[in-house]
């Protein structure tokens, strides 16, 4: 696998997680379905293509935090805040910090007895970039995130966000098209508050 690109390895890892996580069932009697408030934080990897011309792809690392307010047991309103950074981009002295703030609906598949909670979401918001690129030092713009993930509960209120994979569109100045197509992978912890 050493010769495969980073993106292919990330997709292969996520596919393995989905394959093993989907059929897992709880061994104990599940609590009744209810609305929740979820708060999460974790590590974020971003495969970015911000420089102009061709792919110009590079990797960014950082973190993200999110909250989801349950309107029903399955439908919530989610907010996501993320910051990623890359230094020495493509072996240059250029750096980039990307901040995103997004809001929108999240749908979680909840079923009695399931031990995993798959979800999907479409979030809209803004992005801010800060860089030392010679053609542009950064700016603000629109962002859209579409994707989903799998949470694996391991205590009454705690869950592991095994994987969240998203397409992230950002429209911030880059000296060319001012549009970037990014791939984001997140993993972390979730704390879930019961809501009556």
Provide mean pLDDT across the span 142-164: 96
Residues above pLDDT 90, as percent of the chain? 56
Which residues, at least 6 apart from 6, have a Cβ–Cβ distance to it below 8 Å? 47, 59
Q: Would you place residue 110 in the very low, low, confident or very high pLDDT band (cuts 50, 70, 90)?
A: confident
What domains sit in the chain, N to C, each tagged with a CATH number?
6-195 (2.40.160.20)
pLDDT at 85: 95
pLDDT at 150: 97
Inter-residue contact 171 to 179 (CB < 8 Å): yes
What CA–CA distances, in Å, run from 122 to 7, 61, 176, 182? 21, 22, 26, 15
Inter-residue contact 8 to 144 (CB < 8 Å): no
pLDDT at 112: 75
Inter-residue contact 86 to 117 (CB < 8 Å): no
CB atoms within 10 A of CB 37: 14
What CA–CA distances, in Å, run from 163 to 71, 87, 88, 90, 131? 23, 25, 27, 27, 28
- How does pLDDT run across 33-83, given as a tens digit for each residue? 678 899 999 999 999 875 555 566 889 999 999 999 999 999 999 999 999
pLDDT at 28: 34
pLDDT at 1: 39
pTM of the model: 0.79
Is pLDDT above 50 for 23? no
How far is the C-alpha of 133 from the C-alpha of 90, rounded, in Å?
12
How far is the C-alpha of 63 from the C-alpha of 5, rounded, in Å?
22
């Amino acid at each position: 696998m050493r010769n495969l690109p980073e993106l292919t390895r990330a997709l292969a890892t996520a596919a393995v997680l989905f394959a093993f996580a989907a059929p897992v069932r709880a061994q104990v009697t599940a609590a009744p379905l209810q609305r929740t408030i979820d708060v999460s934080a974790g590590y974020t990897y971003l495969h970015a293509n911000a420089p102009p011309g061709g792919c110009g792809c590079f990797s960014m690392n950082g973190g993200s935090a999110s909250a989801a307010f349950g309107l029903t047991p399955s439908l919530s309103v989610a907010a996501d805040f993320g910051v990623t950074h890359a230094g020495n981009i493509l072996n240059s002295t250029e750096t980039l910090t990307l901040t995103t703030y997004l809001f929108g609906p999240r749908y979680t598949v909840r079923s009695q007895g399931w031990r995993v909670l798959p979800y999907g979401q479409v979030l809209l918001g803004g992005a801010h970039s800060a860089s030392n690129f010679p053609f542009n030092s950064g700016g603000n713009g629109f962002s859209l995130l579409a994707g989903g993930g799998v949470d694996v509960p391991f205590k009454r209120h705690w869950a592991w966000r095994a994987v969240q994979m998203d397409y992230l569109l950002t429209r911030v100045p880059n000296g060319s098209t001012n549009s970037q197509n990014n791939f984001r992978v997140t993993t972390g912890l979730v704390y879930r508050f019961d809501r009556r």
